A and B are shown apart, each in its own frame.
Chain A
Amino acid sequence: MKHVRGLLDGEARPDDGRILDPLGSIFVHNISKIYESRRGAVAALAPVTFDVASGDLVAIVGQSGCGKSTLLRMIAGLVNPSAGTIRIGTQKYKGAPPSVRYVFQDYASSLFPWKTVDENLQFGIRHSAPGAQIEDVDAECRRLRTLIALPDIGQRYPWELSGGMQQRVAIARALAAQPKIILLDEAFSSVDALSRSKLQDMTRTLWRQLGTTILFVTHDVEEAVYLANRILVLGPRGGGIIADIASNLPMARTQIETRESLEFLAMRRELINLIQA
């Protein structure tokens, strides 16, 4: 396994410098998934071991069928691992860890169409992570809408919004629960290119403001390089982690300058070579 750099040290910290919650760290130890079918056992993911520090922003990339979504779903408690352990903070969980929220690729099926945007956000607030402190629900909804730069859509229904706007609401609903960790599963791949860029920038801005640990899965190498501080590369056909690369891009990133920088292009080339090898 290629290990360029381990856990990021001082870099992956929110702007306000507050102490990060230990519940925001993820420890994955020898976790694997084997699906039993009529034709026999199919290995969806070979044993993988890695840690994610609290407050980090980490991407998992790999070809289709490499097991990246399976890995994320196991951390979220949506799929039971065949072997290995996952700890969130110091605890092991069976089922969904309470301090973790998940954003799905299919935003249209994830948001509740019978609830307005504010009611969707209130759902997130009502089912918040342990330790969340929310006193004024209406004010919190306003704050969340402002965070996603959609301040005036509280009374609209999800189906009245564009795809990109719906995904922003889905992210806001996940944030409404004040989780320590957010998992994004190909969360930007079902929206148009412009919305996708906006969502990427919004995600980085929110991460820098809030300090929430973000672990995301993408098939888009450029998205991984642009967004993440650290990238885990999975080998084909469930082959496990083949590289763990720390980003050398600056903290402040812009769609044009960052993507044109030599560091960005070098990382992109390195990742493509790794994935296609």
Chain B
Amino acid sequence: MVKAMLYGFFKTKALGWTAIAVLLAIWQAGVSSGLVTSPELPGPVHLMDVWYHELLDQTLATELIKTLGWTLSGFGLAVIFGVSIGIVMGCSRIANGLLEPFVELIRPVPISALIPLVILFVGIGFKMKLFVALLGAVFPVLINTWSGVRGVSSTLRETATTFGLNWVQSVTQVYFPAASPAVFTGLRLGLATALVITVVSEMIAGSSGVGFYILSSQQSLGVDQMYAGLITLALVGYGLNAIFVLIERWTLFWAMPDVRSV
């Protein structure tokens, strides 16, 4: 019984969460005992208190809503473009031959390096943030959709053919569902990248958002607020991923070996 519980503990995320709790406790103990006195490293209890109040008095909450708004809008556009182009590239050799060099040429360029170029064309307003988030998310979505559709087994493709499905029916009823685990991985990566790149764009050329909040706090010696911004980003990133994991377990259970083996 004890052995089974220990085995379960070491096999699950409980191990990682315990390690985090231990590290935070050591950090807090160091600050409380006076061993750590650096103003750059306040204790975690104090930081959580600051974070809570910053969120409550809406300074941080307002910035967070803006960041999330740009991230999700850019991500939404990236899903539309990435999934549809990925499907077309995965299904059509001509489209693949035409578009693959474009994708392979632009993809390796760090999206943050493209921010100055985007500013040049659309200025530093919301269009820039939207476009940058779109650029950040579109490649993971597109490439995963593309490889997912290309990876659909020939038997499944031929099943669609022998049942007389036309192109649209094949895509919607066979290729897309079969590729959906890969598409979903792309969505997860795309959303995470969109959040990162939105924050970077706020730091480089923004006047609002969590990225701007973190940078301006650091520049005006608001170390506590800077940490509060970082905590917010960590929690938002974790929360978004957790939502994706839930949706994945709910809709794509058929593709999960651990569920299938039950």
Which residues of A are in contact with B by a Cβ distance under 8 Å? 76-78, 95-96, 98, 100-102, 104, 106, 109-110, 112-114, 123-124, 127, 157, 159, 177
Contacts and interface: CB of A to CB of B under 8 A. Distances in A.
B162 A100 contact: yes
B161 A78 contact: yes
Nearest to A108: B155
B165 interface: yes
A109 B153 contact: yes
Contacts of B162: 76-78, 96, 100-102
B97 interface: no
Q: Is the interface of A mostly helix, strand, loop or mixed?
A: loop
B254 A177 contact: no
Contacts, number: 51
Contacts of B164: 96, 98, 127
B77 interface: no
A98 B163 CA distance: 7
Nearest to A124: B163
B240 interface: no
A77 B173 CA distance: 20
B40 interface: no
A100 to B, nearest CB: 7
Interface in B138-172: 153, 155-156, 158-159, 161-165, 169
A104 B177 contact: no
Contacts of A123: 163, 173
Given A78-B158, A104-B158, 11 more contacts: A77-B161, A98-B164, A101-B163, A102-B158, A112-B156, A112-B174, A112-B178, A113-B254, A114-B177, A127-B165, A157-B254
B176 to A, nearest CB: 10
A98 B155 CA distance: 18
Query: Interface size for chain B: under 10, 10 to 19, 20 to 34, or 35 or more residues?
Result: 20 to 34
A112 B159 CA distance: 10
Contact of B156 (A78, A98, A110): A110
B29 to A, nearest CB: 50
A102 B155 CA distance: 11
B11 interface: no
B163 A114 contact: no
A101 B161 CA distance: 10
B177 A110 contact: no
B23 interface: no
Given A76-B162, A123-B163, A157-B254, A109 B156 contact: yes
Nearest to B161: A96
Contacts of B169: 127
A123 B173 CA distance: 9
Contacts of A127: 163-165, 169
A159 B164 CA distance: 25
Interface string B215-245: 0000000000000000000000000000000
A127 B254 CA distance: 23
Minimum-distance CB pairs A-B, first 7: A109-B155, A127-B163, A102-B162, A109-B153, A113-B254, A114-B254, A106-B155
B171 to A, nearest CB: 14
A157 B174 CA distance: 16
A159 B155 CA distance: 16
Nearest to B252: A114
Contact of B163 (A106, A109, A159, A177): A177
Contacts of A113: 254-255
B173 A159 contact: no
A96 B159 CA distance: 11
B260 interface: yes
Contacts of B165: 127
A102 B157 CA distance: 12
Contacts of B173: 123
Nearest to A101: B162
Given A104-B155, A106-B155, A157-B254, A112 B177 contact: yes
Contacts of B153: 106, 109
Contacts of B254: 113-114, 157, 159
Interface in B31-86: none
Which of A95, A102, A157 has the most chain B CB atoms closer than 10 A to its own CB? A102
Contacts of B159: 102, 104, 110
